[in-house]
Each structure stands twice: as structure tokens, then as C-alpha cells.
Amino acid sequence: MTDTHHDDDDTMEYIGKDENRQSLALPQQLMPKRMYLLPVQNRPFFPAQVQPVVVNQDPWQETLKRVKETDHQVLGLCFVDADEEMAVPESDDLEIMGCAVRVHQTQREGGKIQFIAQGLQRFRIVQWLRRKPPYLVEVSYPQEPEEEADELKAYTLAIISAIKDLLRSNPLYGEEVKQYLSRFGPDDSSPLADFGASMTSAKGPELQDVLNTVPLLRRMEKVLLLMKKEQEVARLQAEINEEVNTKVQKHQREFFLREQLKVIQRELGMAKDDKTADVENFQTRMDKLDPPEHVQQRFKDELQKLSVLEQGSPEYGVTRNYLDWLTQVPWGQHSEDHFDLKQARETLDRDHDGLEDVKDRIIEFLAEGAYRQEVSGSIILLVGPPGVGKTSIGRSVADALGRQFYRFSLGGMRDEAEIKGHRRTYIGAMPGKLVQALKDSGVDNPVIMLDEIDKIGASFQGDPASALLETLDPEQNKDFLDHYLDVRMDLSKALFICTANQLDTIPRPLLDRMDVIRLSGYIAEEKLLIAKHHLLPRLLKRSGLLKKQLNITDAAIRQVIEGYAREAGVRNLEKQLHKIVRKGIVKLLEEPDTPVKVGVSDLPGYLGQPYFKKEKSLKGTGVVTGLAWTAMGGATLSIEASRIHSSQRGFKLTGQLGDVMRESAEIAYSYVSSNLKRYKGDPAFFDKSFVHLHVPEGATPKDGPSAGVTMATALLSIARKEAPQAGIAMTGELTLTGQVLPVGGIREKVIAARRQKINTLILPEGNRGDYEELPGYLQEGLDVHFAKHYADVYTVCFGNKPRRGASVH
């Protein structure tokens, strides 16, 4: 095909009965042979339609202008099948079969052109005369072949019936039917088929298929199929609408009936409205309590406000929530304390093995309360490594006293409103945790446990640790003020028990208000009792097993303690025992009649190879065992010193040591260097020696001053070329003049030494009192030496006394 450009519409030719130029309106049967095209999207246009068409002014303004200049004012509309709107489609995108329409009432507004399109007749593009807007084509008008009259009548009646059904389901089609009847009769089969197709909501390609079908019978078959689909969709929509309307009507009916019932009951005095019910409910609650005078007055004021507020106002909801909280605080309600010390001791012994000194301290605390007939004014802080039973001791104290127990964790808390509540002006305001504790426990003297107080945070929202100062001070918490309730309340009757892993991160003013009780780790014998009496029975009960079905020998439990769970607490021990129980259940399911017995030799099959091997006591020249304290409990610390070469003086430290430990090493090096003659070493040894001091396990950070005497002993050992006596562990801070200063964590360090089967200890003289306070079972079998000066350490380690006088060279 070739494109030919025609700028003048005078060259238009017409086909029809009369070939002469028509100066008046064009009769419908006279159609132009050439016409301008306009693409339409979404759905094609049909000859039986009369509808408005809206197009963009750019680029179709010129097309419509040229059409208006013609006598016939006929335009071709061709369907373009595209998912997205195309500004200017390519000529090949337009369908070959289109609909010729007459243009009426063209209007321009807002960059759009709107006109009324009156469908006239199908056409087929024969030749493209211009492939760019304004599109110009040469067309032909297909003639419908003759069809059987009876078949046409049957299809016509079927389509008319379908149109009637659609009119019943959707009356909006009525206007389109009126327009159709104003132009065609009900017996005009071809326009009727096209009109039926245009009434459906079929997709564009399906409608274009109808437009492409010229033979009338085939076209009516396709239209009838589309209309049947439309009828089915309309039927489903009608069913859905009917179901929805039924439900809505039912709810409306129930709503009106309920409202009428409320009015009738109020008129007869049988019921009250919601506001009156709320007021009476709050009054009934408060009558059961014994609030202070200032709380009673605040309650009356708020209740009066509630009674005059409209239920729909936001203030009504705020006031109602406030009264709900105010009347749920147990004003004047408290439980009676049990001051039976024998029963308290039995409760503590039942729940805990070991920890005798901690139990004694708690019994003393309870005895003081029994003497005064009141337990208050003291805040207990339980400090110890993870897994030693701090939280469970708090619960046991509550059981011994017969009080309610409430626990919440402070770990990661950064908002002081968690402690003291939000102000009522904020959306979603609530009281703090302490008010919630009183509400949940139902009494004003519960045992409140503040867990992980050493892990409390701070942010721009406030400092919760500072908010706790008022809470935990016995002189201040008598008049504790929650921001939400905004009335003074007495927290002095509550017993606060706090837990922490360490004291370093607790603010000093907060720590000053607490009575510190330290919980150290357990030795192997205590862990064995805990496993037999508590951990294993609890695991068997949780798994639904009987003791005779799964038996773990004492030797196996001891091996689990020594080889797999050597930490200070028992949490990891419980995990290892749980692993054995799980694997034992698998064996019981495979062989239900064979009890499972676990001995020492079976442990590798259940737990794998031991994590901890039996450590031989390190000995030799320059090797000394020290005692250290960590947040996980006590630990032994081996320190090694070696002479690298004798070409120059030097001192090197390794083992990821902190600043304090490095200073201790330098002090030890200086002290030993300046006192070698006194301790029977070569005074010039360090002048010509490069010495390396190493603390093994270099991946673990280590810091603290308590390794001074240990480092000095290791350095003195290489200078004397003599190994210290084996089986000795020591701790203490050393000064430049040789004084041994006291250190902390004596209990944890003693337990660590016993765990490693070390029986000879050297401790600072200043810690003698700490050692003597230890329970007898920890002191049993130990040979402890107390050192004031390093000379005392030297005597124990090397078996002789130093020379008198210092030897500074």
C-alpha cells in the first residue's frame, strides 16, 4: 500500500444510489469512500450506539476540524487493543474493521475535545492514504449476506428476551434502550445484535470480534453468548446484593429493637443508661476499699465530672479510664504476713540447695520483721552471676511471708514513664509498672521483684534509674506520686527485691538505698544436689517421664558438671540434662519396655565430647596460678613469664590486658627488679634480659588489679630460675613498696580454686574477715595464707624467708 496525502476534502467521493455531491445533510445510505480515522481504546464503537466520545485535543484537534469542514461530517472510529493509554498509536495498531459515526456537538475544554458520536455503519480499511494524524483511509462497506428469516426471528427474540432480563437487573440500561428505539425498530436484527453487544461489559477484543463478524446469524450467536454471560454476572451480583441487604436489615432491626428496649426499660425504671451504670460501678468499687482522705476527695471530684460529661466527648473516655484505674488500686487492702521462721527456713531449704549464707541473711531479715511485726523499710539487692537462683530466691521469700509476688524486668528500660506513669493529657496514657503491680496483686504489700536492675538504660525520654530513687527510698516512697493517678500513695508496705549480675553499672545513689546480698557460684557438690533434687525431677515431670524410666547416675551428673557445665550457675547444667532427657525419650519410643540408664561412659553419645578437659595444675619456672573474678563468677588465671634473650633489657605484655592490669604488671616488674637481691636472685638479671609476660586465653579481655602478686611471683620465678611450689593459687594487689592490698570477690575466687582442686591459697591480710565469713563447707580442707607484704607470698611459694632490707640497685 502507498500513502497519498490529501489536504483538500473536495476530492472526497461518495458511493450510494446518488453519486452527485450532496449540499444538504447526508442521507444515511450515502457514505463517503474516504474518511478520517480516530482510535478508541477500552472497547469498540457499534453502529447502533449514540454516545459521547472524549479525546485529547492534541493530536486529534486537526482530525476533528477537517471532519467538521466536510458536508457529511462522518468519522471512522477504530479500536486499539492496548493495556495502557497510547497518545498516538501506530497505524498498524488500529483494527481493520471499524464503525463510521456522525459527529455532533463538538466542545473543547481543559485540553479535551468532547463530541456525540452517532453510529452509522461498519467499514473496512482498504488502503491507508495518510499514516500520521490526521489519519486518512480509503474504506469499503461490507454487505450482510441474506439469512434464513425463521432463524433470524428466533435469534432476534432471544436477544430481546436477554435485553429485558438485563433491564430488570440494571434499570440504568433503560435510557440506552430508549435511544435505540428512537432510531430502530425491535425487528431490525442487525442493529439489535450490535446494540445487544454494546450493552454487555465484555472486554474489548471480544466486542471487536462481534464487530468483525458481518454475517448476521454468526454475529447474533456471538452476541447471545456474551449476553448470557452478562445475565449470569448480573444474577450473581443480585444474589450478593440481596444477601448483604438482608444482613444490613437484620442488624438495623436488632439495633432499633435494642434502642427501643433501652428506652422502655428506662421509662419503667428497670435499667439505667451507660453513664449511670459507670458511675454506680465505680462507686461500688470504691466503697469496698479504704482509701486515704485525699484519694477519696479526688475520686468524688472525678466522679462528679463524669456524671455531667456527654458520653460522646473525648474527655468522657479519659475520665472514665482514670476512674477505672483509681478504683482498681487496692487502697487499704493487704495480706497478713507469716512470721514463722521455722517454716521460712523449710521453704528456703525446699527450693534451694547450698547458698547457706544467703539463706541465713534472709532469715535474719525475716526475724527482724517478726520482731517488729512489720516487714518494710528495707530494699534487698541480690547480686550474682547468671543462673545462681536470684529470681527464684525472691519468689521463695514471698512464699515464706505468704505475700503476693509480682516480677518485672528493668533490662533495657529507657522511659521513666514505665516507672512513674504517663500524664493523663497524652493519648494512650497509663500508670507505671508499680501501680500495675498493686492492681494485679490485689494488695498494697506485695513482694515486687525488679529484675536486671544493672541493665537499666537511659535515653532522651528520661532516666528510669533516677525515677527509681523515689520508689526504693523508704523515706520517700511513703508518698510515691504516679504521674497518671496524680495522687500520693504509700509503697512503704511493699517489699522490693532487686537482682543484678554486677554492681558497676548501678548508679551509686540507687545502690546506696539497697541492702546487698551476694550470691556466688556453686561448687560441684552443691551442683550435684541441685541437679538431683530440683533440675532433673523438674525435667522428668515436664517430659511426662517416671524416674524408673530414665535414670542418670550420680557419677554421670558429676561428669556433666565437670566436663560440660563448669560455669558458676546451673542454667547450662539444666540445658545439658535436658539434652540427655530428650535423647532418652527417643530411645524409650524405640524400645518402650527398656528403661534408659545413663552412666559416665554413655555421656559422649548424648552430649558429645566434654567441653572442659581435666586441667593439670600448671607448674614450672615462671608459671603461677592466680584467682580472678568475672561477671560469670570466679575463675583461675594462669600467668606465664619467660626470658626471651639476654642481649638487652625489655619487658613485653600479651593476653589482651586492660589498662589496670597492664599497670599491675609494670608495678610487679618494677618491684621485683628493685628487690631481686632481697629475694635471693641475681640483681643484674633484668638489666640484660628481655622478659615476656603472658596471660593465656588471649581472645578473652582481662582487667583488674588483683593479679599483682601473681605477676610478681612469675617474674621472680624466672629471675631465681626456680619454680614455685605446685598447687598454689593467689590473689592480691601489689604496690611499689611490696604491700599486698585487699581485693574483692573472695568468695567467688575460693569457689573457683575448689573447682580446680587447688587447696593452698594466698590471700591479702585485708581479706581475712571476708574469708572467715565464708561458710564452713567452703573453708574445709583449704590451707590459706594471709599476706601483708610480698615477703609473705615469697615465703609460701619458695619455702624460705627473704633477706632483711631492700636491695635497690
Q: Is 686 exposed, middle or buried (0-12, 13-18, 19+ CB in 10 A)?
A: buried
What DSSP letter does each residue of 725-792 carry, written as one string? PSSEEE-BEE-TT-BEE--S-HHHHHHHHHHTT--EEEEEGGGHHHHHTS-HHHHTT-EEEEESBHHH
Whole-number Å distance between alpha carbons of 351 and 531: 12
Whole-number Å distance between alpha carbons of 67 and 78: 16
**Cell, residue 476:** 520517700
Contact between 326 and 295 under an 8 Å Cβ cutoff? The reply is yes
Whole-number Å distance between alpha carbons of 366 and 359: 10
Question: ∠ CA(45), CA(50), CA(54), 5° rounding?
Answer: 65
Whole-number Å distance between alpha carbons of 635 and 658: 17
Contact between 422 and 408 under an 8 Å Cβ cutoff? The reply is no
Whole-number Å distance between alpha carbons of 151 and 162: 17
What DSSP letter does each residue of 211-244 carry, written as one string? HH--SHHHHHHHHHHHHHHHHHHHHHHHHHHHHH
- Count of residues in the chain: 809
**Cell, residue 588:** 524409650
Strands (E) across 8-111 are located at: 14-15, 31-32, 34-40, 50-56, 74-79, 97-109
Helix (H, G, I), strand (E, B) or coil at 156: helix
Whole-number Å distance between alpha carbons of 223 and 200: 9
Catalytic residues: 706, 749
170 to 158, 163, 209, 235, 664: CA distances (angstroms): 18, 10, 25, 10, 95
Lookup result for grid cell 454516545: 51
Q: Look at residues 104, 116, 118, 32 and name the one whose alpha carbon lies nearest to residue 68.
A: 104
Whole-number Å distance between alpha carbons of 532 and 577: 11
**Cell, residue 395:** 519468689
How many CB atoms are located within 10 Å of the residue 1 CB? 11
Whole-number Å distance between alpha carbons of 700 and 702: 6
Contact between 388 and 570 under an 8 Å Cβ cutoff? The reply is yes
Contacts of 93-96 with CB under 8 Å at 24 or more apart are 93/39, 94/37, 94/39, 94/125, 94/135, 95/44, 95/208, 95/211, 95/212, 96/124, 96/125
Residue type, 13: E
Q: Look at residues 17, 24, 12 and name the one whose alpha carbon lies nearest to residue 75.
A: 12
Whole-number Å distance between alpha carbons of 714 and 703: 18
